[in-house]
Amino acid sequence: MQYTLVRSNRKTIAILVDRQGLLTVRAPKKLPAAQIDAFVQEKRAWVEKIRARLAALPPPAPSLTLTDGSTLPYLGQTLTLQRADVRRVCLRGNTLLVPQTAADLQPVLRWLDTQAREQLAARAQQTSMRLSLFPKSLRFTHAKGRWGSMSGRGTLSLNQALLFCPPAVIDYVLVHELCHIPYPNHSPAFWQMVGRCMPEYQVHRQWLKTHASLISFLPD
Protein backbone atom coordinates (compact mmCIF):
# COMPACT_ATOMS: atom_id res chain seq x y z
CA MET A 1 0.00 0.00 0.00
CA GLN A 2 1.25 3.46 -0.87
CA TYR A 3 1.42 6.08 1.86
CA THR A 4 2.93 9.42 2.78
CA LEU A 5 5.54 9.10 5.52
CA VAL A 6 5.94 11.83 8.14
CA ARG A 7 8.74 11.39 10.66
CA SER A 8 8.88 13.22 13.99
CA ASN A 9 10.00 12.85 17.59
CA ARG A 10 7.04 10.62 18.38
CA LYS A 11 7.67 7.18 19.94
CA THR A 12 5.03 5.12 18.12
CA ILE A 13 3.69 4.59 14.59
CA ALA A 14 0.25 5.90 13.61
CA ILE A 15 -1.74 5.45 10.40
CA LEU A 16 -4.23 8.12 9.28
CA VAL A 17 -6.81 7.55 6.52
CA ASP A 18 -8.29 10.73 5.02
CA ARG A 19 -11.72 11.22 3.39
CA GLN A 20 -10.30 10.16 0.00
CA GLY A 21 -8.83 6.96 1.44
CA LEU A 22 -5.21 8.17 1.20
CA LEU A 23 -2.76 7.03 3.89
CA THR A 24 -0.42 9.08 6.02
CA VAL A 25 1.97 7.23 8.30
CA ARG A 26 3.56 9.06 11.21
CA ALA A 27 6.65 7.37 12.60
CA PRO A 28 9.67 7.99 14.85
CA LYS A 29 12.64 9.64 13.13
CA LYS A 30 15.05 6.71 13.52
CA LEU A 31 12.65 3.82 12.92
CA PRO A 32 13.88 1.69 9.96
CA ALA A 33 11.82 1.97 6.77
CA ALA A 34 11.46 -1.79 6.58
CA GLN A 35 9.82 -1.87 9.99
CA ILE A 36 7.41 0.88 8.96
CA ASP A 37 6.50 -1.01 5.78
CA ALA A 38 5.89 -4.19 7.77
CA PHE A 39 3.63 -2.32 10.18
CA VAL A 40 1.58 -0.83 7.34
CA GLN A 41 1.18 -4.22 5.65
CA GLU A 42 0.10 -5.73 8.94
CA LYS A 43 -2.68 -3.13 9.14
CA ARG A 44 -3.90 -3.72 5.57
CA ALA A 45 -7.21 -5.33 6.62
CA TRP A 46 -7.95 -2.45 9.01
CA VAL A 47 -7.13 0.15 6.34
CA GLU A 48 -9.39 -1.50 3.77
CA LYS A 49 -12.20 -1.64 6.32
CA ILE A 50 -11.88 2.11 6.99
CA ARG A 51 -11.74 2.83 3.25
CA ALA A 52 -14.95 0.83 2.72
CA ARG A 53 -16.72 2.83 5.43
CA LEU A 54 -15.58 6.12 3.91
CA ALA A 55 -16.69 5.06 0.44
CA ALA A 56 -20.18 4.33 1.77
CA LEU A 57 -20.59 7.82 3.21
CA PRO A 58 -22.75 10.28 1.24
CA PRO A 59 -20.80 13.00 -0.56
CA PRO A 60 -20.52 16.26 1.36
CA ALA A 61 -23.15 18.84 0.50
CA PRO A 62 -21.95 21.75 -1.61
CA SER A 63 -21.80 25.06 0.18
CA LEU A 64 -24.30 27.80 -0.54
CA THR A 65 -22.94 30.65 -2.69
CA LEU A 66 -24.32 33.74 -4.42
CA THR A 67 -23.15 32.57 -7.84
CA ASP A 68 -25.84 32.74 -10.53
CA GLY A 69 -27.05 29.22 -11.21
CA SER A 70 -26.08 27.82 -7.82
CA THR A 71 -28.78 25.68 -6.27
CA LEU A 72 -30.21 24.84 -2.89
CA PRO A 73 -32.74 22.21 -1.87
CA TYR A 74 -36.00 23.54 -0.50
CA LEU A 75 -38.96 21.51 0.73
CA GLY A 76 -38.36 18.68 -1.73
CA GLN A 77 -37.58 21.00 -4.66
CA THR A 78 -34.36 22.44 -6.06
CA LEU A 79 -34.16 26.22 -6.23
CA THR A 80 -31.80 28.08 -8.56
CA LEU A 81 -30.28 31.35 -7.35
CA GLN A 82 -30.34 34.27 -9.77
CA ARG A 83 -29.28 37.88 -9.33
CA ALA A 84 -32.09 40.23 -10.30
CA ASP A 85 -33.34 43.80 -10.03
CA VAL A 86 -35.35 43.17 -6.86
CA ARG A 87 -35.33 44.91 -3.48
CA ARG A 88 -35.36 41.73 -1.40
CA VAL A 89 -34.94 37.99 -1.86
CA CYS A 90 -38.09 36.47 -3.31
CA LEU A 91 -39.17 33.16 -4.77
CA ARG A 92 -40.63 32.93 -8.27
CA GLY A 93 -41.41 29.38 -9.27
CA ASN A 94 -38.22 27.44 -8.67
CA THR A 95 -35.98 30.51 -8.97
CA LEU A 96 -34.76 32.40 -5.91
CA LEU A 97 -34.19 36.00 -6.95
CA VAL A 98 -31.43 37.80 -5.06
CA PRO A 99 -30.86 41.58 -5.19
CA GLN A 100 -28.00 42.68 -7.43
CA THR A 101 -26.74 44.79 -4.53
CA ALA A 102 -26.32 41.82 -2.17
CA ALA A 103 -22.65 41.64 -1.14
CA ASP A 104 -22.90 38.41 0.82
CA LEU A 105 -25.31 35.64 1.78
CA GLN A 106 -27.05 37.59 4.55
CA PRO A 107 -30.19 38.44 2.50
CA VAL A 108 -30.60 34.77 1.58
CA LEU A 109 -30.03 33.66 5.18
CA ARG A 110 -32.64 36.15 6.39
CA TRP A 111 -35.10 34.81 3.81
CA LEU A 112 -34.45 31.25 4.96
CA ASP A 113 -34.92 32.29 8.59
CA THR A 114 -38.32 33.81 7.71
CA GLN A 115 -39.31 30.68 5.80
CA ALA A 116 -38.33 28.48 8.73
CA ARG A 117 -40.47 30.48 11.14
CA GLU A 118 -43.41 30.32 8.74
CA GLN A 119 -43.17 26.91 7.07
CA LEU A 120 -41.76 24.83 9.93
CA ALA A 121 -43.92 26.50 12.57
CA ALA A 122 -47.05 25.81 10.51
CA ARG A 123 -46.15 22.14 10.03
CA ALA A 124 -45.33 21.82 13.74
CA GLN A 125 -48.74 23.19 14.66
CA GLN A 126 -50.52 20.88 12.22
CA THR A 127 -48.66 17.82 13.49
CA SER A 128 -49.30 18.75 17.12
CA MET A 129 -53.00 19.05 16.42
CA ARG A 130 -53.06 15.70 14.63
CA LEU A 131 -51.25 13.87 17.45
CA SER A 132 -52.75 15.91 20.32
CA LEU A 133 -49.21 16.43 21.59
CA PHE A 134 -48.33 20.05 22.28
CA PRO A 135 -44.91 21.49 23.14
CA LYS A 136 -44.77 24.41 25.54
CA SER A 137 -42.60 26.48 23.23
CA LEU A 138 -40.91 26.38 19.84
CA ARG A 139 -37.48 27.62 18.83
CA PHE A 140 -35.23 27.39 15.77
CA THR A 141 -31.56 26.49 15.75
CA HIS A 142 -28.58 26.19 13.42
CA ALA A 143 -27.13 23.16 15.23
CA LYS A 144 -24.80 21.02 13.12
CA GLY A 145 -25.58 17.73 14.81
CA ARG A 146 -29.34 17.50 15.43
CA TRP A 147 -32.38 17.96 13.21
CA GLY A 148 -34.60 18.53 16.22
CA SER A 149 -34.97 17.97 19.95
CA MET A 150 -37.51 18.08 22.74
CA SER A 151 -36.30 19.38 26.09
CA GLY A 152 -37.50 18.13 29.43
CA ARG A 153 -39.30 21.45 29.84
CA GLY A 154 -41.30 20.92 26.66
CA THR A 155 -39.36 23.14 24.27
CA LEU A 156 -39.41 21.86 20.70
CA SER A 157 -36.25 22.86 18.84
CA LEU A 158 -36.15 22.58 15.06
CA ASN A 159 -33.08 22.93 12.91
CA GLN A 160 -33.54 25.52 10.18
CA ALA A 161 -31.84 23.03 7.82
CA LEU A 162 -35.11 21.07 7.82
CA LEU A 163 -36.11 23.46 5.03
CA PHE A 164 -33.77 21.44 2.81
CA CYS A 165 -35.76 18.25 3.41
CA PRO A 166 -38.92 16.96 1.71
CA PRO A 167 -42.13 17.73 3.64
CA ALA A 168 -42.67 14.08 4.63
CA VAL A 169 -39.21 13.98 6.20
CA ILE A 170 -39.93 17.17 8.13
CA ASP A 171 -43.12 15.57 9.40
CA TYR A 172 -41.13 12.54 10.59
CA VAL A 173 -38.82 14.76 12.62
CA LEU A 174 -41.84 16.48 14.13
CA VAL A 175 -43.53 13.17 14.97
CA HIS A 176 -40.28 11.87 16.47
CA GLU A 177 -39.78 14.90 18.71
CA LEU A 178 -43.42 15.22 19.75
CA CYS A 179 -43.49 11.57 20.78
CA HIS A 180 -40.76 12.48 23.26
CA ILE A 181 -43.37 14.39 25.26
CA PRO A 182 -44.88 11.18 26.72
CA TYR A 183 -41.65 9.16 26.20
CA PRO A 184 -38.49 11.21 26.93
CA ASN A 185 -36.29 8.34 25.74
CA HIS A 186 -35.83 5.91 22.84
CA SER A 187 -37.46 2.96 24.51
CA PRO A 188 -39.46 0.29 22.60
CA ALA A 189 -42.64 2.08 23.71
CA PHE A 190 -41.38 5.30 22.16
CA TRP A 191 -40.69 3.68 18.78
CA GLN A 192 -44.03 1.89 18.89
CA MET A 193 -45.75 5.23 19.27
CA VAL A 194 -43.72 6.72 16.40
CA GLY A 195 -44.73 3.73 14.27
CA ARG A 196 -48.41 4.18 15.09
CA CYS A 197 -48.26 7.86 14.21
CA MET A 198 -46.21 7.31 11.05
CA PRO A 199 -45.99 3.68 9.87
CA GLU A 200 -43.44 4.53 7.14
CA TYR A 201 -41.12 6.46 9.49
CA GLN A 202 -38.12 4.22 8.78
CA VAL A 203 -38.04 5.40 5.17
CA HIS A 204 -37.75 9.02 6.29
CA ARG A 205 -35.26 8.15 9.02
CA GLN A 206 -33.03 6.54 6.42
CA TRP A 207 -33.38 9.59 4.17
CA LEU A 208 -31.98 11.76 6.95
CA LYS A 209 -29.03 9.42 7.41
CA THR A 210 -28.29 9.39 3.69
CA HIS A 211 -28.54 13.18 3.41
CA ALA A 212 -26.91 14.01 6.74
CA SER A 213 -24.54 16.47 5.06
CA LEU A 214 -27.45 18.85 4.40
CA ILE A 215 -27.41 19.83 8.05
CA SER A 216 -24.13 21.66 7.30
CA PHE A 217 -25.28 23.23 4.04
CA LEU A 218 -25.48 26.72 5.50
CA PRO A 219 -22.24 28.55 6.39
CA ASP A 220 -21.33 28.93 10.05
Residue 122 falls inside a structural domain? yes
Note the pLDDT tens digit of each residue in 87-121. Answer: 999 999 999 999 999 988 899 999 999 999 999 99
Classified as helix, coil or strand, 97 is strand
Domain extent at residue 185: 105-216
Give the Å distances, CA to CA, from 15 to 10, 18, 33.
13, 10, 14
Give the Å distances, CA to CA, from 206 to 87, 172, 192, 203, 211.
40, 11, 17, 5, 9
Is 89:111 a contact under the CB 8 Å cutoff? yes
Residue 196 falls inside a structural domain? yes
Residue 143 falls inside a structural domain? yes
Regarding whether 124 and 44 lie in a shared domain, the answer is no
Is 58's pLDDT higher than 70? Answer: no
Residue 69 falls inside a structural domain? no
Question: Measuring CA to CA, which residue among 177, 168, 169 is closest to residue 133?
Answer: 177
Residue 78 falls inside a structural domain? no
Regarding whether 212 and 110 lie in a shared domain, the answer is yes
- Please give the tally of structural domains in the chain: 2
Regarding whether 124 and 47 lie in a shared domain, the answer is no
Regarding whether 112 and 29 lie in a shared domain, the answer is no
pLDDT of the residue at 65: 78
Residue 75 falls inside a structural domain? no
The mean predicted confidence, pLDDT, of the chain is 91
Regarding whether 117 and 52 lie in a shared domain, the answer is no
Regarding whether 207 and 137 lie in a shared domain, the answer is yes
Classified as helix, coil or strand, 7 is strand
- Strand 4-8, strand 23-28: pairing: parallel
CA 34 to chain centre: 43
pTM value? 0.70
Give 145 or 26, the one with higher predicted confidence.
26
Residue 66 falls inside a structural domain? no
Residue 48 falls inside a structural domain? yes
Regarding whether 210 and 117 lie in a shared domain, the answer is yes
Q: Which segment of 16-25, 39-48, 186-195 scores lowest on mean pLDDT?
A: 16-25
